[in-house]
Structure 1
Amino acid sequence: MRLNDWQREVEAYLLGADATPAPALRDSLLGSAGLAVEQGLAIYHNAYRARLLEALRGDYPAVHGWLGDEEFDALALAYIEAHPSRHFSLRWLGAELAGFIDGFLVPEQAQPLSELARLEWAFTLAFDAPEGEPLGLAQMAELPAEAWPNLQVRYLPSVQAQLCRYNSLAIWRAIKEQAEFPGSQALEQEELCLIWRDGLVSRYRSLDRAEAKALCGMAEEGWSFGELCAQLAEYAEQAPLQAATWLRQWLNDGLLRHY
C-alpha cells in the first residue's frame, strides 16, 4: 500500500463512526503482545473524538453547563458526525453548532438553546477578530459642524450583534460565574446584545429596542447622522440631542469606525 493510500485509510478510520478498522488498514499494522492492532487503533479513534468534544466544551461552556455532560456529548457527537472538522485548526469546529441545534431538536427546545449557542459563538468571534481603528471622541471634536449631517460609521471588526428573545445572557453569566442556573425564559421584549473586544477583554451590553434600531441603522444600514436624527421623529426637537447622546455612548464603548 502506498503512503498516500495508507494515510487516506487512517483518515477515513478516524473520521468514521465505527471503531472497527477496515481489513486493509488492520493488515498494514503490527500489534504487540500487550496491545493488539484493533485495540491500538481504537485508542486513537476514541482519542480523536475526545479531543473534538473537549474543543466544543471549551467553545460552548454555557451550552455544556445547561445540558450537562451526557446530553452535551450526545449533541456534540451527532454534530461532529454531521459536520466533521474540515479546517486545520479546531478554532472553527463549532461554527455550525447553533444551526445544527435548530434541526436536531424540536423547536421549543432548540430555540433557546441555539440562541445561547449563537451568543457564545459571538464572544468567540469578537475575541478573535482583527484589530480596527476606533473612532474616538477627540476625532469627533475636530469634526466641523457642516460635516456632522453626512457622518457615516461602521462597526469595528470585533463587534457582534446578537438578538436575544430569551434570557440567554443571564444563563451565560450564571454559568460563567458558577451561580445558580436561572432557567430559560422568554423575554417580555427582545433585546440586542452587543459583544466586542477591548484590548484582550471581551465586553458586552444589552440595548433596548430604540437604541438598537438607531445603532443598526447607522452601523449596518448606512444611515448618516442626519438620517438618524430624521428617524427619531418621536423625540421631536430633542432628536439631535438623543442621537448625539447615543453616538457618544457608542464611541465611549469603542464600537465604531469611520465608514
Structure 2
Amino acid sequence: MMLAEMQRDFRCWLVAGTDEAAVRLGAAASAGLSVYQNNYRAQLVGCLEVSFPQVRAWMGEDAFLSTAITHIGHYPPTAWTLDAYADDFHATLARQFPDNPDLHELAWIEHALSGAFVAADATPLAPDALAGIDWDTARLLLAPSFASRLATTNAHAIWRALGDGGPVPGGEMLAGPAGLIVWRRQFTSCLRQVDALEFEALRHLQADGSFAALCELLVGRLGEADGVAKAGSLLASWLGSELIERVYTD
C-alpha cells in the first residue's frame, strides 16, 4: 500500500469509521484505530465547546454534546486551522433545531464576535480626517470587522444575561424586526442591537458606500428634514463607535 493510500484510508476511518478503510489498513492497525478516532472526535467536540461557550450554556450540556457529535459526522475539518471548524456549526443548529431562531441568532452572535476579534485592524479616524470632505461625493468604508444580520428574537438580551451571570430570559420573538451588528473597537469585540432603519442604513452603506445615497434613502423613509438629520446623527454615532474605517471622495 502506498503512503498516500494509507493516509487516505486512515482519514476515512477517522471521519466515518468505515469498515472498508479498516480492512485496507490491516488487522494489526485496526486493533488500535478506535483510540485515534475517539481522540479525533474529542478534539473536535472540545473545539466547538471553546468556540460556543454561551450557546453551550443556553442549550445545556447534553443537547450541546449531541449536536456537536452530529456536526462532526457531517462536517469533517477542511481548513488548516481548527479556528475555522466552528464556521459551519450554524448549519447543524438550523437542521437540528429548525424552530429555534433564538438559538440560531445566539450562535451567530458568538461566532461573529470571535471573527471580529481576529479581523484586520482598522485605525480610528482622526478628527481632522473629515476636514474639507465634500459630502456630496463622500464615500464611507465600514471597519473590516463589521458583520450584521437580521434580528427576529431577543438573542441579544439572552447573550447579555449569559455574560452577566444573571437571570436569563426565555427565548421570544421581537415585536418588530431589528438588526444585530458586530465589530471590533481597538482590542474589544462589540455587539449592538439596532433598530430596523439603522440596520437598513448600514446594509445600504456596506453595499454602496455613498453618503449622498444614504441620505436619499433616509429622506425617502423620513422626509427631507428628518432624513438629513438622521443621516447626520447616524454618522456621528458610527464615527464615535469606530464603525467607519475611512471617509474619502471619488
| TM-score bucket of the superposed structures, by smaller chain | 0.7 to 0.9
1: CA distance, partners of 2:160 / 2:34: 38
Kept after mapping to 1: 8 A contact 2:125/2:242: yes
User: Which of 167, 177, 184 is matched with 1:180 structurally?
Assistant: 167
When structure 1 is superposed on structure 2, of 68-77 and 19-28 the one drifting more is 19-28
| Gap change, CA 1:173 and 1:19, over 3 Å in 2 | farther
Alignment of 1:1-259 (within 5 A): 1-17=1-17, 22-29=22-29, 38=31, 40-105=32-97, 107-109=98-100, 111-140=101-130, 142-144=131-133, 147-222=134-209, 224-233=210-219, 234-256=222-244, 257-258=246-247
Q: TM-score, normalised by structure 1?
A: 0.84
Equivalents in 2 of 1:170, 1:89: separation in Å? 32
Helix, strand or coil at the partner of 1:232 = helix
Cα distance in 2 for residues equivalent to 1:239 and 1:122: 30
Distance across 1 between alignment mates of 2:127 and 2:226: 21
Q: Which amino acid aligns with 1:152?
A: R
Any idea what the Cα deviations from partners look like across 1:30-53, whole Å, max 9, x if unmatched?
A: xxxxxxx63x43222111101100
Deviation of 1:194 (Å): 1.5
Cα deviation 1:84-139 (Å, max 9, x = unaligned): 1111211111211212322233x323x22222222222112211111234444331
Asked if 2 retains the 8 angstrom alpha-carbon contact of 1:19 and 1:42, the reply is no
Q: Deviating runs (4+, > 4 A) in structure 1?
A: 17-21
Query: How many residue pairs align between the two structures?
Result: 245
In structure 2, distance between residues paired with 1:136 and 1:211: 24
Structure 1, unmatched stretches of 5+, are: 30-36
Give the secondary-structure state (helix, strand or coil) at the position aligned to 1:108: coil
One-letter amino acid of the structure 1 residue matched with residue 128 of structure 2:
A
> How big is the alpha-carbon RMSD for the aligned residues of Structure 1 and Structure 2?
2.3
Give the distance between the partners of 1:156 and 1:194, measured in 2 at CA: 12
The structure with more radius of gyration: 1
Distance 1:212 1:15 in 2: 41
Q: Residue type matched to 1:43 in 2?
A: V
**Aligned AA (1:204):** L
Cα deviation for residue 28 of structure 1 reads 4.2
Asked if the contact 1:20–1:42 (Cα under 8 Å) also holds between the matched residues in 2, the reply is no
Identity %: 29
CA spacing shift, 1:215–1:22, aligned 2, 3 Å: closer
Shift of 1:72: 0.9
Q: Distance in 2 between matches of 1:121 and 1:226?
A: 33
CA offsets per residue over residues 65-85 of structure 1, 9 Å max, x none?
Answer: 121121111111111111111
**Which residue of the partner structure matches residue 32 of structure 1?**
none
**Contact 2:13 2:37 survives alignment (8 Å):** yes
State the one-letter code of the partner of 2:247.
H
1:19 deviation in Å? 9.2
Instruction: Give the aligned residue type for 2:213.
Output: E
SS at match of 1:152: strand
Q: Structure 1 residues 170, 20: closer, same or farther in 2, change over 3 A?
A: farther
CA positional deviation for 1:247: 0.3
Q: What is the alpha-carbon distance in structure 1 between the residues aligned to residue 232 and residue 74 of structure 2?
A: 48
Task: Give SS of 2:132's match.
Answer: coil
1:149 CA displacement:
1.4
Task: Report the CA distance between 1:231 and its aligned residue.
Answer: 2.7
Scaled by the length of structure 2, the TM-score of the pair is 0.87
CA distance in 2, matches of 1:18, 1:213: 49
Are the equivalent residues in 2 in contact too, given 1:154–1:220 (CA < 8 A)? no
Deviation at 1:7, TM superposition (A): 2.2
Return the letter of the residue paired with 2:6: W
Separation (CA, whole Å) in 1 of partners of 2:170 and 2:17:
34
